[in-house]
A and B are shown apart, each in its own frame.
Chain A
């Protein structure tokens, strides 16, 4: 499997519910980032969490990082129809490399 692999691949929930997406990676990292991509559009940066951080919040978003398990989760609370998008986690490639390694993404659908 690839560095930065998301789970589940697709998630469909009702508006107002919480959505949780997970990401696993293989190598040691300096940081992990979450991005959102609306269909046919570019990527929007959501949150960057550093390897020495365990949790970070931004509005309705909550990101956790467990470096011992090499995993991260993105929680969206009180989901809205506008949250419908694909969500990607991306890690640096380690060893000082600047490139980002992306997973396949989770396609989130919020049903009204």
Chain B
């Protein structure tokens, strides 16, 4: 039973380019969360999605960032016109249900470096 999968594991972009990060949840999970981790810090919540719906995007920057979780395929976190401050590790997590009592299982992360 494969865990949460993320790709790419490492991504290098120049300022102004677009970054697309993909996340496939664990089998049977329909709830996906994205978090960002800056060096030497804890994870910060960005967005929570169910299939075809954004449930909570309170942690998403207002501009340049978007997320989707289509009916078919992985969840995508998209960062347009990247800047150096976007360099971070981006983690995806999934859970079987949306209850606060559910464990969230994390993927290995995508490390984004903006040059």
What residue of chain A has the Cβ atom nearest to residue B3's Cβ? A42
Complex-state Cα separation, A85 to B101, whole angstroms: 25
B100 contact set on A, CB distance < 8 A: 30-31, 92, 94, 96-98
A61 at the interface (CB under 8 A from B): no
Complex-state Cα separation, A97 to B35, whole angstroms: 15
B64 to chain A, nearest CB (A): 21
B107 at the interface (CB under 8 A from A): yes
B58 to chain A, nearest CB (A): 8
B44 contact set on A, CB distance < 8 A: 102
A30 touching B33 by the CB < 8 A rule? no
B45 touching A88 by the CB < 8 A rule? no
Give the interface size class of chain A: 20 to 34
* Residues in A51-105 with C-beta less than 8 Å from chain B: 88, 90, 92-94, 96-105
Complex-state Cα separation, A93 to B33, whole angstroms: 14
What residue of chain B has the Cβ atom nearest to residue A2's Cβ? B42
Contacts A98-B31, A98-B55, A98-B99 known; A42 to B41 CB distance under 8 Å?
Answer: no
Residues in A lying within 8 Å of B, measured CB to CB: 2, 4, 30-31, 33, 35, 40-45, 48, 50, 88, 90, 92-94, 96-105
Residues in B lying within 8 Å of A, measured CB to CB: 31, 33, 35, 40-45, 48, 55-56, 58-59, 91, 93, 95, 98-109, 111
Show 21 A/B contacts (Cβ-Cβ < 8 Å), sorted by A: A4-B42, A30-B101, A31-B100, A41-B109, A42-B107, A42-B109, A43-B91, A43-B106, A88-B43, A93-B45, A96-B100, A98-B31, A98-B56, A98-B95, A98-B98, A98-B99, A100-B35, A102-B35, A102-B42, A104-B41, A105-B42
The 9 closest A-B pairs by CB, nearest first: A102-B42, A92-B100, A99-B45, A42-B108, A43-B106, A30-B100, A102-B43, A104-B42, A42-B106
